[in-house]
Amino acid sequence: MFDVTKQFSLTGKVALVTGAAYGIGYAIAKAYADAGAKIAFNCRKQEHLEQALADYKKDGIEALGYICDVTDEAAVKAMVADIEMKLGTIDILVNNAGIIKRTLMLEMETADFRQVVDIDLTAPFIVSKAVLPGMLRKGHGKIINVCSMLSEVGRETVAAYTAAKGGLKMLTKNIASEFGDRNIQCNGIGPGYIATPQTA
Tens-place pLDDT, residues 181-190: 999 999 999 8
Catalytic residue, chosen from 32, 56, 66, 161, is: 161
Do the domain assignments include residue 197?
no
The CATH number that applies at residue 91 is 3.40.50.720
Q: What is the model's pTM?
A: 0.93
Do the domain assignments include residue 157?
yes
How many domains, the chain?
1
Do the domain assignments include residue 118?
yes
Print the SS3 string covering 184-196. EEEEEECCCCCCC
Do the domain assignments include residue 21?
yes
> Is residue 118 pLDDT above 70, yes or no?
yes
Do the domain assignments include residue 122?
yes
Q: Where are the alpha helices (DSSP H) in 87-158?
A: 110-117, 123-138
Give 151's pLDDT tier (boundaries 50, 70, 90): low
The range of the structural domain enclosing residue 64 comes to: 9-189
Question: Per DSSP, which regions of the chain are E strands?
Answer: 14-18, 38-43, 63-67, 92-95, 141-146, 184-189
State residue 168's pLDDT score.
Answer: 97
Do the domain assignments include residue 4?
no
26 is catalytic: no
Read off the DSSP letter of residue 199. Answer: T
Give 149's pLDDT tier (boundaries 50, 70, 90): confident
> What is the spatial distance between Cα 200 and Cα 193, in angstroms, rounded to a whole number?
10
**How many whole angstroms from its chain centre is CA 38?**
15
